[in-house]
Every structure is written in structure tokens, then in C-alpha cells.
A and B are shown apart, each in its own frame.
Chain A
């Protein structure tokens, strides 16, 4: 059994209440940090731990914190990004729903390290029930003196509040999130300046993912060096993986970074193999935006080494033969899956979620979706594959925020690894089964 640091108590009844959470060692990190440590020491521990952002980009958290500008007389903010919208990712929801106090504890400890007197938890609109759970937990924390003035009798005062978003994928991008939090239209800002210098209301701000903030709790409790011993190389600690698709046991798993992908898919501790005894065809390893990989490349790298669940191993070989750990949205597909149909679903999503600020993403995402629809309708021809490739290359890297890339990468990877499927459909040798959409449309009508 791998070690669990975040959701080890998720089976305990009523762990969402403060009483049960504290009985299981909750809020120890707040006691330890506020009473025995200096803010910089907490940041140092996070640096030593090698913790990397769990939202998708994998940027070292300690370094992000140390970039925070600290001018005199200007408030600083910590914002928790709980706008978990990447298709295939549902780990933050699980954590907040089951153990909301783990997040709040992390918020207090992290805010102490950053010197933030106010923090916000920005929860996506679709998670309104999760927002209620977190709000109830915050109320409990206030009542117990863990939030508010002079927490646990120390000099540190802190307020934390929940803001529910309107339900837009783009608000998961940190600057769009800040715009939305300020009450504006959730459009990404043009960087620089980065939020660490001018974020929420122009003040220095750190935006971290739910899991990142929750991971600060075990880091402070056990010490950064001890935490860094888990994992391989620069991928330290544990990571929540949202496993979905054609596997026997979909769900949220906490893994020690460094287990092999094969283990994760086939061992009974995790996914338990492919359902109905089918063969694995492809895996999207880190949420819908990362490149899809066929079985032979996801289990072994191009060099023939077994692929591990780490940031480095998954991105081994670049995008030609690798992918990304991303947010940990692990989608496995069996041999019957149509990659083209799957890609259409992804593209439709990105088209729908494009904010419309910059031209390549606004126009390109819709164009790609329309071309993919032609494949579904059986009206595509071979030149459409090249056209798709050309469009994605003209979106990637040309946009304000990473949504353009998120839309372009899946298209590029599907063509790179499964071009034959597109060609077969274009040559009318095969057709995509779209009866599923017909049924859906009937339900909607």
C-alpha cells in the first residue's frame, strides 16, 4: 500500500465536521506553524519539500511563494483555485466534499507563510453543493477560533471566504479567476504583470490549486525533507489522480509519485484493469488538454523504459512520444473507443469554453469542432486531416492564455498517434457510431 497524506481519513464517518477532523489530528499544522515557526520557515519547508503545483502546470510551489512581492502597506492575498473544470479531473471536488477542513487548514497555514490577512476559495459554479460544505466548515472554524482575529491566541489574524463562480472553464486560468473574483467578466489578463506582483485588486496574490494547499498540511506536520523522500527525483510527495474511463474501478486515488503507469492501471489497489476484459487502447494521462498516448507509449517510454506516474517520466520524449501529468485526470480508453469521436467531444468543449478575447482561439476552436463534426457525419475527406493539423499549429502558442494550447494539443496528439483512424473515416472505410448523440439530443429535446 502506498502512503496517503491527503485522503487517508476519507473513510472516517463525519470527517467533514471539525470535531471528528480534530480528533484525527486535524489542525496540528496550524498549531505548529503559528506557535513555533516563523512565516519564512514555513515557506522554506515547502521549498524543501519540492511540492509542485497540482493544478496542471507543475510549477514548484515554494518558488511561486518566494516570488510574491511584499511591499509595505499593501495587502497580500491567497486565492485557492477550486474551479476544477478540466474534463476528467474531479480530485478537488472529492477532497473538498469529504474533508473540507483539510483545505481550510492548508489555507490558514499557507496564508500565515505568505502574510495574507484575507484569502478566498473560488469554487466553480457547478460545485454549488461543495461550496455549501466548505462554507459550513469555515463557519465551524470561525466558531472554534481557527479563523478570525488572533487565531489560537497568537498575533495572526486571518479571514477566509468562499466565492462561487458562474461556471466557466476559463475561470480556472488564474488571471481570469482573479477578474471573476473582482466581479468582472472572467477574461484572462495579459501577462506580465503576473499575479505575484499585481493580482487581486492590483495587490500581490498567490493562486494555488486545492490539492497544493492541502498538501502544505502534511509538509508542515512532517517537515519538508521527510515529504521530499516520497516520490522520484523532482516529483515528490503524493498526488491525487482522478481515474475514469473504461477501467474496473474508477475513482479518486492518492498515489505516491513514482509508481509505474502499468501498476496504476492494472493493480487491484488502483484502477483494477480494463473492464470487461478488453484491451487498453489509449490513455489521456492528465486531463483532457494533455496529449493522448497509445498503449505502447503510455506503458513504456520511447526508449523502452517503464513509464512512471511522475512529472518527468510522463513528459519524457516531449510531445512527440510523451504527454504530461497535468492535473491528474487519468482517462483510460479500451479498444472499442473511437479516438475521433472522443476528440470531437473534447473539441466541442473547448469551443464552448473559449472566452473570445483573442482571435486564434475564438475562431480556431470552433473551426476545429466543425471539421471534426464532418468526420462524425461521414462527409470528411483526407485533406481535412491536414487542415486540422494546420489549424491547431496556428492556435498553439499564439494565444493570451493556455486555453488555446489546451484546445490544440489533443487535436495534435490524436492526429500524431491515430492518423490512420482519421484516414479510414475519410476514405469511408469506417464510420463513427453517433447514435449516442442522437439519444442525447432526444433527451434534450
Chain B
């Protein structure tokens, strides 16, 4: 199936979503995502940051779709034409979504463990306005401890439902979901039940903001002062493929390995995540290849620049003009 996104045509198999197709083309045209997570089924569609305009439905039925669609949940049709970064309405609508997401967010980045690897920070930086028009008190919740290792700071939550999907799909006994509705909705373990499940720690990795944080890592270091190192161990519960975040010889935290879109490649178990904090617990593979344009990767690894040159070459061959060089 052929689909054109921002003027770049790409051939994709049936069943591909617009978002996946855009990601195949590259960072330049891929819409930002807050709630979609490739390894979680039925995730996506909630945050509305990835909305795009479909200007031609398909070759068979060329009428444009009347409303912007969530690219993460819309499958491509043959001959579909999609506009993302070249459509003013889409960018304006996305700005609106960012404003809505930031409205009740406490903006406590200076003391937030997620700072530096926060999707909302990146999104706000790229699409948000510098000031807020919201003049009312922000929503406030008490902090809740979910078990020994995880803390829920609901003030920062943007209701992406990723952690709910983890609870549904990775853990056998669901004690975690959403209570209340509308802007009073909150992530909760039912009557503050603790989650005692070996995969529950993954809610930290899927959280796009600092709402779910690792209590073993809280306030130990800013993430950009730690060095990511890929390591493995023999684990019976999970693949054992993890990323260690080190400061000197010390392992400050353990997370799943994330791909270039910031999404975990394989989920890991709580033993690996929380209890193996010594270098001797792990077999080190080497420095992590971080593709993400986060502060962590800035000037750390040379291969990034090489990769960028390669991508640009490919795009040039396809006739793609970067956003900042468009007329």
C-alpha cells in the first residue's frame, strides 16, 4: 500500500497505522505521541497529540476525512495522503492539545526525576506556547505509594492510560485502573492496594511524565549525569536485557531498553529493575545507543551524527525538504 505523508511516499504493508508509516519515514514527519506505546495493545488514541489531517482517504475514495484523526489508531489505505507538519490546522490543534495537557501539570521539572527524559517536556518545547492562559488553581492530589518501589504522583499525570494497559496486559491480577471521571479522573490502585506483581515496575518505564517514579532512584541524580550502559543477566522471569544508568561505578537505576521513540523494547521484571544494583550482578555489553534527541544523547556518541547524515541522504534522494528549509 502506498501512502504519502507530508509529500513523501512510502510503501507499507496492510494494517500499518499512519503513525507507524510516518515513523518508517523518519523523525521529521513522525507525529509526537504521548499515549501510544508500540508494545501495549489498544494503547493510543487518548492524548490526541498525534492527530493528523487526511486530505485524501484512498485512491478508491479520495474524499478527505472531515476531522483530524489520531494517527496511532488509524490504518492506512492505498493512496492515502496525510498532512502532518505541513498543515497549519494540525499544528494549531496540536498546540491546543499541548496546552490542555500542561494546564493542570504542576511544571515542577526542577524537582522531577523524569526531567531530561520526559515526553511532555519535549512536546511542550516543540509545540507549546511560552505562557499559559489558564489562570485557575491546578488540580492537586496526594502522593500515593504503590508498593515498595513505585510512587504515584498524580499531579503530574496526563492520563495516557499506558500504565493501565500494563496492568491489564502484563500483570495477572489487575488491581490498578482509573477512578472517577472527567478532570477528576485519577490513576489508582483500588482502595490503595499495593501492586505485588513481578512486572509492575514497568509502569515506570511506560509513564511519559514523572507521575510514576522509581523509589530506588528518587532524587539520586539528574538523568543527564548518568551514563546508560546495556547489560544482561540470566533471569528466569524476563529476558534480562536491561539498561543500567551508572554514575562512576555505581548503578543508580535499571530500566528496560528503549528504542528511538522512547518505548521499551522488552519489558523487564521487578527483580532485575529494583534488586540488582551492583555491577557484579550484570554482564555489561557496552554503552547504550541512544537515538533519542534527549539531553542524555547530546554529544555523547559520534555514531548519532553519522546516522543523521545517512538519514538526510536518504531523504534527499526521496526529494524531502527539511521543515526549516521549506519555502
A interface, CB within 8 angstroms of B:
168, 170, 185, 190, 351-360, 362-367, 370, 387, 393-394, 397-400
Contacts and interface: CB of A to CB of B under 8 A. Distances in A.
Contact of A360 (B73, B96, B161, B182): B96
Contacts of A397: 66-68
A366 B184 CA distance: 10
Contacts of B91: none
A399 to B, nearest CB: 7
Interface of B: 45-49, 51, 66-68, 70, 73, 93, 96-97, 99-101, 103-104, 133-134, 136, 158-159, 161, 177-178, 180-185
CB-CB nearest 4 A-B residue pairs: A394-B96, A356-B185, A354-B182, A363-B100
A190 to B, nearest CB: 4
A399 B181 CA distance: 16
B175 to A, nearest CB: 15
Given A190-B70, A394-B96, A400 B46 contact: yes
Given A356-B181, A360-B100, A394-B99, 19 more contacts: A353-B181, A354-B181, A355-B181, A356-B180, A356-B182, A356-B183, A356-B184, A356-B185, A357-B46, A358-B48, A359-B49, A359-B158, A362-B159, A362-B182, A367-B136, A394-B100, A398-B67, A398-B68, A400-B70
A366 B68 CA distance: 23
B13 to A, nearest CB: 18
A360 B66 CA distance: 18
Contacts of B133: 387
Contact of B73 (A190, A364, A394): A190
A393 B178 CA distance: 28
Contacts of B184: 356
A387 B136 CA distance: 14
B103 A398 contact: no
A356 B100 CA distance: 12
A320 B218 CA distance: 54
B304 to A, nearest CB: 32
A363 B45 contact: no
Nearest to B72: A190
Contact of A359 (B47, B134, B177, B181): B47
Q: Which of A353, A360, A387, A393 has the most CB of B within 10 A?
A: A360
Contact of B182 (A190, A366, A398, A399): A366
Contacts of A170: 181
B96 A363 contact: no
Contacts of B177: 185
B181 A360 contact: no
A64 to B, nearest CB: 19
Contacts of A190: 45, 70, 73
B46 A355 contact: no
A33 to B, nearest CB: 35
Nearest to B99: A394
A360 to B, nearest CB: 5
B183 A363 contact: yes
Given A356-B183, A398-B93, A185 B47 contact: no
A354 B49 CA distance: 19
Contacts of B185: 355-356, 362
B136 to A, nearest CB: 5
Nearest to B51: A398
B178 A359 contact: no
17 contacts: A185-B177, A351-B182, A352-B182, A356-B159, A356-B178, A356-B184, A357-B46, A357-B161, A359-B46, A359-B47, A360-B48, A360-B97, A366-B182, A367-B103, A398-B67, A398-B97, A399-B48
A190 B101 CA distance: 20
A352 B185 CA distance: 11
A319 to B, nearest CB: 14
A55 to B, nearest CB: 20
Nearest to B44: A190
Given A353-B182, A354-B183, A359 B136 contact: no
A354 B182 CA distance: 5
Nearest to A370: B136
Contacts of A351: 182-183
A185 B73 CA distance: 21
Nearest to B136: A370
Given A354-B181, A366-B183, A399-B48, A359 B93 contact: no
Nearest to B100: A363
A6 to B, nearest CB: 33
A363 B180 contact: no
Given A366-B182, A366-B183, A359 B68 contact: no
Contacts of B66: 397
A370 B67 CA distance: 27
Contacts of B101: 359, 363
